[in-house]
């Protein structure tokens, strides 16, 4: 059955967490509309709306809602921490609660509103085996056989984390694009460059798989914090300064928790013509 919104337009929300920006479509109680083609069209910052990721909210069994993610090129993303926090903020308002549960490809996750107002989300346990990341072949995740001695961590998405003397000096567009499609990563990878600035603080910049340079990446911040602790550089609690803001990571026994700011910027409606052209 054709969704009635095709003739009435499609409502959406524009949100961001620390500059990591998203289009969010609430499809609860309605037919799912997000597709690779629609995501790529919406992600175009000149001909669409523009975003780092698209998030679609759906009904779920055993949780308050489900979330699906797409990158700006139309490819699927298994996780998106900052979008998860933004949607959790929205859904807490809808449900009039200070905590929610939701499902993604990672399984059932949880989010809470802290006393300071920040939204904290449990991104689950890090994936620390080569097949789960995934890598194309068995390798030491703590010392990948790549120039720069990076670390591989899975957080629903694959991540390749480099620790460098000065993250600001990295040519992120050139280096990130090269590493993203290295043959070691059969599904490509997100790429992070981090510098230890204090015993509990990191400066991080990120190239996101399927999107490019972004101002922040939640799953990337989690992966970087995990990698830093496993390398003996920081404790399990660390603050990360990204291009778009600050995120707090706490790797606990029940998963990697991430907290930071959220913003609901505006609401809009996609025209029937745009939907028809990109169905």
Residue pair 174/181 in contact (Cβ under 8 Å)? The answer is no
> Phi first, then psi: what are they for 181, rounded to 5°?
-105, 25
Residue pair 130/144 in contact (Cβ under 8 Å)? The answer is no
C-beta neighbour count of 248 within 10 angstroms: 17
Active site residue 222: no
Among residues 67, 70, 65, 76, the alpha carbon closest in space to that of 29 is found at 65
Q: Which of 80, 86, 160, 222 is catalytic?
A: 80
| Cα-based angle 26, 31, 36 (whole degrees, multiple of 5) | 80
Q: Which of 86, 160, 217, 222 is catalytic?
A: 217
Q: Going by C-beta distance under 8 Å and a sequence separation of 6 or more, which residues neighbour residue 232?
A: none
Residues facing 208 on adjacent strands: 212
Residue pair 209/158 in contact (Cβ under 8 Å)? The answer is yes
Encode 176-233 in three state secondary structure.
HHHHHCCCCCCCCCEEEEEEEEECCEEEEEEEECCCEEECCCHHHHHHHHHHHHHCCC
Cis peptide before 50 (omega within 30 of 0): no
Among residues 232, 186, 231, 235, the alpha carbon closest in space to that of 209 is found at 186
Active site residue 160: no
Chain-centre distance for alpha carbon 235: 23
Integer Cα distance of 24 and 93 in angstroms: 15
Active site residues: 80, 217
């Amino acid at each position: 059955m054709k969704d009635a919104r095709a003739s009435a337009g499609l409502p959406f929300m524009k949100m961001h967490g620390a500059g990591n920006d998203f289009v969010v479509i609430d499809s609860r109680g309605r037919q799912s509309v997000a597709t690779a083609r629609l995501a790529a069209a919406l992600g175009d910052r000149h001909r669409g709306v523009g975003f780092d990721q698209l998030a679609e909210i759906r009904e779920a069994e055993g949780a308050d809602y489900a979330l699906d993610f797409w990158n700006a090129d139309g490819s699927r993303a298994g996780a998106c921490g900052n979008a998860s926090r933004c949607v959790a903020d929205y859904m807490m308002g809808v449900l009039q609660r200070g905590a929610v549960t939701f499902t993604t490809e990672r399984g059932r996750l949880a989010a809470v509103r802290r006393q300071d107002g920040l939204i904290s989300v449990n991104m689950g346990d890090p994936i620390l085996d080569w097949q789960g990341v995934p890598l194309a072949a068995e390798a030491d995740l703590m010392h990948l056989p790549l120039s720069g001695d990076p670390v591989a961590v899975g957080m629903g998405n694959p991540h390749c984390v480099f620790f460098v003397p000065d993250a600001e000096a990295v040519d992120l567009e050139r280096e990130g694009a090269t590493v993203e499609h290295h043959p070691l990563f059969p599904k490509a990878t997100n790429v992070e460059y981090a510098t230890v600035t204090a015993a509990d603080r990191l400066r991080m910049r990120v190239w996101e798989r399927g999107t490019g340079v972004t101002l922040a990446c939640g799953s990337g911040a989690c992966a970087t914090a995990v990698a830093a602790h496993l390398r003996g550089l920081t404790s399990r609690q660390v603050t990360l300064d990204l291009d778009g803001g600050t995120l707090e990571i706490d790797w606990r026994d029940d998963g990697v928790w991430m907290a930071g700011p959220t913003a609901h910027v505006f609401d809009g409606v996609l025209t029937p013509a745009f939907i028809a052209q990109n169905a």
